[in-house]
């Protein structure tokens, strides 16, 4: 949603996605969760996780 704020109103996007505007703004303030931080660190290290696709 953040990428599209210049194109569409936040309240409109929230209504379309069935989320509250206040919940969206609260989520934006929170920052990355510990799980997301760990995932980003593994991605930066090039470590494959469960979502990797391997060749047959």
Q: Are 38 and 50 in contact (CB under 8 A)?
A: no
Q: Where are the beta strands (DSSP E) in the chain?
A: none
Q: Are 10 and 24 in contact (CB under 8 A)?
A: yes
pLDDT: which is higher, 52 or 34: 34
* 53 three-class SS: coil
pLDDT, tens only, 14-48 = 999 999 999 999 988 988 889 988 888 888 887 66
Domain locations in the chain as residue ranges: 2-45
pTM above 0.95, yes or no: no
Q: What is the mean pLDDT of residues 1-22?
A: 93
């Amino acid at each position: 949603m953040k990428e599209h704020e210049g194109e569409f109103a936040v309240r409109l996007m929230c209504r379309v996605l069935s989320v509250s505007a206040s919940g969206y703004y609260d989520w934006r303030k929170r920052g990355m969760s510990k799980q997301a931080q760990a995932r980003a660190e593994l991605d930066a290290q090039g470590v494959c996780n469960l979502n990797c696709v391997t060749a047959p």
